[in-house]
Structure 1
Amino acid sequence: MLTALREDGTLFQLLPRLSKDVLRKEKAGGHYYCPECKERVTMKIGMQRMEHFAHQAGSQCIESYERESSFHLNGKMQLYQWLKEQKLYPRLEPYYERLKQRPDISVDYSQQEYAIEYQCSPIPPQLMIKRTNTYRKNNIDCVWILGGNQLKRKSEKKVSLTQFDYLLLNKTPDGKWYLPYYCSNSHKFVFLTNIIPTSAKNALTQFSIFPIQNRSIQQILTHKMNEFLYAKEWRNEMRAQKLRMGMNSHSQIDYLKELYIHHLNISLLPIMIGLPINHAPFIETSPLIWQSYLFIDLFRNKKKDEIITFSEVYRCFMHRVQRGQINLRTLPLIENYSITVPLIEYLKLLVGIHVLEAINYNTFRLKADILIPDHVVSQQKQEEHFYKEFHQVIFRV
């Protein structure tokens, strides 16, 4: 915490930074209080960490639950200075009395008030959702930025995301997914863009890295993305996922049992199972698994020219959700959230790869019997032919 109230009620800020001698003199002048809970706080002037205010042990203030690391304090300071250098007038840790909330920074830009929350450690989902909804109801746009210390990059185009990371997932006006990070050690923004989950934890993404001095607030609020394809990477992820499940019988045991009951081999699933869709982040369960359940419950029982309706798809999907076999995500930054969206996208994709024919928005006809490969060589040949013909349809984000 970088702001506190003096005994006379005036606000004292630790930015711009002062010498330690000046701070010690200031500290000796009286007590300080949290602007939010009004409890006593202590000015910490150490050699290892940036100077800051801290609640005393046993405090019940929500601020005391989020112990700010040096990484967090330095990042907050850098973001504040970054906004000042753009001739804006940011406010450090302003307390909104009517909202009972205090963002890290607030700033007015282009006739809109923004609350900037720099989050370097997870907080309870209910708290994040409450903060977001309270800002939204009061016409304040909340910009959540994750600390770079939370980023878990696994390869050039692969990242591991936690449930908390997904809470902060957002979309551009043209419908592309992104997550912003800021690293106070390197002084750089890192944007994850065009995010497509491959499993509950892993996702394919494009990494964009920018020094803070090379980015304006306008560029952060309206980050531009290029179209990106993940054909090779997606195929490798799906193959690896099948291999892991096949070798480890304790992994996804209920799913594997269901495949066995219906005489399906995870290595020989139809090509229509395990495909990416734009709104896949709505569903926590791997596309390989939830699309397998749709195949088992609906598509495998249909023959050429038979009708499939969206209502059937939705009913089968939600039945698995209710049984706990498919898990959904909470995405509080996404307005007009509906689980129907990824299901509609999947049906449209099946139309695009010539599995279905659209009769109208809700009704589809199966164009041919769905083939199940009878051995690995046949499966590999089908897969090669399939991706060669349809990779532009499937992997365009």
Structure 2
Amino acid sequence: MLFVALSADGRTVSLAGAERWEREGLMRLKRQEPFFCPACRQEVVLRSGRYRLPHFAHRKGAACPVEHEPESERHLTGKRDLFAWLIRQGMEAKLEPYLPAIKQRPDILFRHGPHLYALEYQCSTIDESLFRERNDGYRLLGIRPLWVLGAHHLRRSPKYSGEVQLSRFQWLFAHRAPHSVVPHIWYYSPETKRFIRLFRPLPLSVQRTFAAVDSIPLSSFSFPDWMAPCPLPLSPTFWERWLERKKQWRRTFPLYPNQTVRRICADFYQAGIVPSLFPTEAGWPVPRGYLWETAPFIWQTYVLLFLLGKTGRPATAVSLFQWLDDKIRTGRLVPRRLPLVGRDTYREAVGEYLHWLSLLGYLRREEGDQLHLVKPLSFPSTVDQMIHQDAALLEQIHQTSALSCYWSTLEFGRVEKMSRKQEKMNGMVNNNSCIDYLYKEE
């Protein structure tokens, strides 16, 4: 379904806002002449009704190269709302422009400052390969892709405050504001006319994560606000909930083993660790923990197993990453790859965890990037003892002054400026020649 089509003589006809037209006017336009899709040039039909927004639609059986999934009324309304939102801010914006160089049609193309943006409002689920293909196409033209999910995708936990469920599909939409290290996901609800911002995700598993979430009226929000780093705090009960999750990991992890869990448990047993009694020092949040799909207690225990195996012998970060890469190849560990976050990998999360261990006095890093475990890890003999140790370590964390800067990064979103080199790596280089698409006559 489209808001924009071509007339027989090549003029652009837009139905954005046409719901305010008189019905007779729409019928007159419908009878006046045929209309054509700007992408495939096949004839489209003007449709309108009492409960549906006026739009153009391909005839049954037509094959358009840029229509990959059906559009819903929610998508049409949201697309119209976001276009009007940009226009009200004085943006030079175009609705549904066809970009022949990449054979793509973003929902909205607009310019802000020197940069050109493609805004996509995604209501249906699409394959990751198609998502990446669209992003790559925009970046090829120097266009910055911006994605907004339909708010119906967001699932909050009815039981745990501050916990949400994010599918692998939703994780694809995680991106960072310029100069921020922490990702966020944007949603929009055309029913309530509000943006929903999910910020600072701290994953517990493949799909469950703690996050800060807020809701913002479209009418009181601007695009510069969108691009600014967000200092949303975590839930006041975050640490209490995190300890509850650690307790749940200890009591349920080995109970429902699939093949991967059996392999992980075998590795733990081989190292002399009962899976439910993984070290107290494992299973803690780090700012870039979202770069792992694997639960924090598992990948952090593997880091500790490597360091324990090197007791009395030199270990380096390079050898640690080689060891973790082997666990990834065998399916024991799974990194999360986020196409909009740049080139950060799971190694950034591991580096933060090593830094955390060093601040607590467990790890010493020496010249030549050597790693030495210099403080014994905690291995109580029962789950109840381990749960007590978890709470005690959290108390130590809060009372350790050297950790104040570290936790301020996690809790208050310390801003880190991205270098121009990193921006280029992220495919965010401006290309003024693409601005012509804003003025191109169809």
TM over 0.5: yes
Deviates more, 1:198-207 or 1:120-129: 120-129
- Alignment map for 1:166-181 (pairs within 5 Å): 166-172=171-177, 173-181=179-187
Gaps of 5+ in 2: 411-442
In structure 1, the partner of 2:34 is: 31
CA distance in 1, matches of 2:316, 2:269: 27
Partner of 2:418: none
Question: Which of 241, 244, 249 matches 2:252?
Answer: 244
Alignment of 1:78-157 (within 5 A): 78-154=81-157, 155-157=160-162
Q: Is the 8 A contact 1:307 1:366 kept in 2?
A: no
Structure 1 residues 379, 130: closer, same or farther in 2, change over 3 A?
same
| Offset from partner CA, 1:276-295 (integer Å, 9 cap, x none) | 22222222111122223333
Question: Higher mean Cα deviation, 161-170 or 262-271?
Answer: 262-271
2:264 alignment partner, one of 255, 261, 280 = 255
Task: List, as ranges, runs of 4+ consecutive aligned residues in structure 1 with deviation greater than 4 Å.
Answer: none
> Are 1:274 and 2:283 counterparts?
yes
**Change in 2 beyond 3 A, CA 1:326/1:61:** farther
CA 1:58/1:353 → structure 2, altered by over 3 Å: closer, same or farther? Answer: farther
Per the alignment, in what secondary structure is the counterpart of residue 348 of structure 2? helix
Q: Residue 178 of structure 1: SS of its match in structure 2?
A: strand
User: Larger deviation: 222-231 or 161-170?
Assistant: 222-231
Which amino acid counterpart does residue 8 of structure 1 have in structure 2? D
Instruction: Kindly state the Cα deviation for residue 306 of structure 1 after the two structures are TM-superposed.
Output: 4.4
Aligned residue pairs: how many? 395
1:203-237 CA-to-partner distances (Å, cap 9, x unmatched) read 11001111000101111122432454732222222
Secondary structure (helix, strand or coil) at the match of 2:210 reads strand
Task: State the secondary structure of the residue aligned to 2:46.
Answer: strand
- CA deviation string 1:36-92 (max 9, x = no partner): 122222222133322222223333324433211111111111111111222223211
Secondary structure, aligned partner of 1:192: strand
Distance 1:253 1:59 in 2: 50
The question of 1:209 aligning with 2:210 is answered no
Aligned to 1:387: 394
Matching of residue 329 in structure 1 with residue 330 in structure 2? no
TM-score under structure 2 length normalisation: 0.83
- With over 3 angstroms needed to count, the CA separation of the structure-2 counterparts of 1:341 and 1:174, relative to structure 1, is same
AA aligned opposite 1:3: V
Please state how far the C-alpha of 1:186 moved relative to its aligned partner: 0.6
User: Identity rate of aligned residues, in percent?
Assistant: 26
Q: 1:53 to 1:380 in 2, by over 3 A?
A: same
- Distance in 2, matches of 1:238 and 1:20, equals 60
Structure 1 SS opposite 2:32: coil
SS at match of 1:54: strand
- CA apart distance, 1:335: 2.1
Which AA in structure 1 matches 2:3? L
Q: Do structure 1's residue 358 and structure 2's residue 359 form an aligned pair? A: no
* 1:159 partnered with 2:161: no
Aligned-pair Cα RMSD in Å: 2.2
Amino acid at match of 2:361: H
| Greater RCO (CA < 8 Å, at least 6 residues apart) | 2
- Which residue is 1:7 aligned to? 8
**Shift of residue 162, structure 1, vs aligned partner:** 1.2
Q: Using structure 1 for the length normalisation, give the TM-score.
A: 0.92
What code does the residue aligned with 2:299 have? W
Deviation at 1:250, TM superposition (A): 4.5
